[in-house]
Amino acid sequence: MDRVRMVTVGRQRLRVAVRPGTGSAPPLLLCNGIGLPLEVWTPFLEALDPALEVVRFDVPGVGGSPLGPLPHRFSTLARLAVRMLDVLGYERFDVLGVSWGGALAQQLAFHNPHQCRRVVLVATATGMLMVPASPHVLLKLVTPRRHRDSGYARAVAGEVYGGSVRDRPELVERMILAHDRPASGRGYLYQLATGWGWTSLPFLPLIRQPTLVLAGDDDPVIPLVNARVMAGLLPAAKLHVYHDGHLGILTRADELAAMVTRFLR
């Protein structure tokens, strides 16, 4: 069973959940998509090998973590996450990041080559310098409304997320809106500001850890070509394309959790 508690890191308090594992591998740190609390990982965790110890956390301004006075840069959030792991007693870790959280995972891997053992990047890209989504999709991403308004979320689900939710928009309600801890309006804006001007292109060739890149073949938010670019620049990357959209880590949890487990072992 997960242990959920507040952890103080410097002046910042973070809501953290730890699922103890029975194996000897380093813990897997999960980095959430924009505006999403740690509960969003439930389908993936249920499918993930229980031997793996898993750490989840809410970034400042999301879920149960209070908002800081100013937006953080990804480099600052990476240092905050490592200090959080240190408070929890972990010296080494693996990291898995989805979408916005994939940018944080890249930053963590780059800044911590000795502590970060393996990396999984899901439905993510290189930041400002990437092949972007269409303008219609981008306009729907700049507001947290899709995380709060169930009618709106269902209406835009197929266009925004692609894959399985094109035919089953109710999946968005069950997986994204079923949690009562959405990002605050200012917290969401702070997360958008975190990514402004950020790109991983210059340092991707310096990330030497074994990396698994997972990407959907119908992802309107992150076009597939971005995953191919990342896999080409990362020295030790393996690319797997799954038949689904931006929420594939949740809608295809059994398949992708098994793949992640094999990779981390």
Q: Hey, which residues does 97 pair with through a beta bridge?
A: 31, 121
Question: Is 201 among the domain residues?
Answer: yes
Domain count, the chain: 1
Question: Is 164 among the domain residues?
Answer: no
CATH code for the domain of 107: 3.40.50.1820
Per-residue pLDDT reduced to its tens digit, 106-162: 999 999 999 999 999 999 999 999 999 999 999 999 988 998 888 999 999 999 999
pTM of the model: 0.97
Question: Is 71 among the domain residues?
Answer: yes
Q: Which of 24, 75, 99, 184 is catalytic?
A: 99
Question: Is 76 among the domain residues?
Answer: yes
Question: Is 175 among the domain residues?
Answer: no
Q: Are 243 and 187 in contact (CB under 8 A)?
A: no
162 conformational bin, left if phi > 0, alpha if psi -120 to 50, beta if neither: left
Whether 99 is catalytic: yes
pLDDT given for residue 175 in this prediction: 86
Could you tell me which of 152, 122, 147 has the C-alpha nearest to residue 30? 122
Question: Is 33 among the domain residues?
Answer: yes
pLDDT-derived band of residue 189, with 50, 70 and 90 as boundaries? Answer: very high
pLDDT given for residue 174 in this prediction: 84
Question: Which residues form the domain of 36?
Answer: 3-133+182-264
